[in-house]
Amino acid sequence: LKVDGVAVSLRYQEGKLTLGATRGDGERGDDITANLRTVRNIPLQLSAHAPPLVEVRGEVYMTNAELIRLNEVRREADETLFANPRNATAGSLKLLDPRLCGKRRLLFVAHGLGESQGLEATSYTETLEKLKLLGVPISPWNAIYESIEDVIEHARRWEHQRNSLDFQTDGLVVKVDDLSQRARLGARTKSPRWVIAFKYEAEQAVTRIDSISVQ
């Protein structure tokens, strides 16, 4: 599932979280380690036998229920409401006071691996399982299929199921599982050939304008 949040990288050295950063422009991001330390399901220390170095890539997000709670607090304080969970997440990670960020009950889910030393795997599925054993949260909705027809059926099924989740998702990410095949496929100028995002059409609804105030 393509979680609609903010992409971050978590760097662990000897099992300890030493750096957390935004994706930025792909080469340089913002150091938001202090705020990421307050995300309740990000481990500050990996479990025993952690590799010397592992960079976990994933998404920080806010649940729909938390957005409702946060906006109720902001409404009582006569503050501007957040339009959606992603905006609320991005705003929270930019806060200068980590204690305020910690009050917003953000969550993290891993979807990949960056630089690593000592974490060996032959497939994406194996990589995620090893991250899970280290205490890193991964999505319970990941699935692996042998045929593209099954992948398409999975995408169609989730197009109808996604509104049953308590977080926003705007599609799926389809990846080649075998890491050796990924290496052979390589990359284009701006993106790898072994992964593609399948996005759902934007949801639409009919509404009514009750009034217009002209300044």
Catalytic residues: 2
Q: Whole-angstrom Cα distance, residue 134 to residue 140?
A: 16
Neighbours of 87 (CB within 10 A): 14
Q: Whole-angstrom Cα distance, residue 15 to residue 24?
A: 24
Helix axes of 85-93 and 64-76: crossing angle, nearest 10 degrees: 70
User: Do residues 98 and 31 touch, judged by C-beta distance below 8 A?
Assistant: no
Question: Which whole-number Å values give the CA distances from 22 to 33, 125, 211, in the listed order?
Answer: 9, 24, 40
Neighbours of 99 (CB within 10 A): 10
Q: Whole-angstrom Cα distance, residue 53 to residue 46?
A: 11
Tokens of 137: 């949260």
Tokens of 77: 């304080």
Tokens of 4: 């609609």
User: Do residues 7 and 29 touch, judged by C-beta distance below 8 A?
Assistant: no
C-alpha triplet 105, 106, 110: angle, nearest 5° = 145
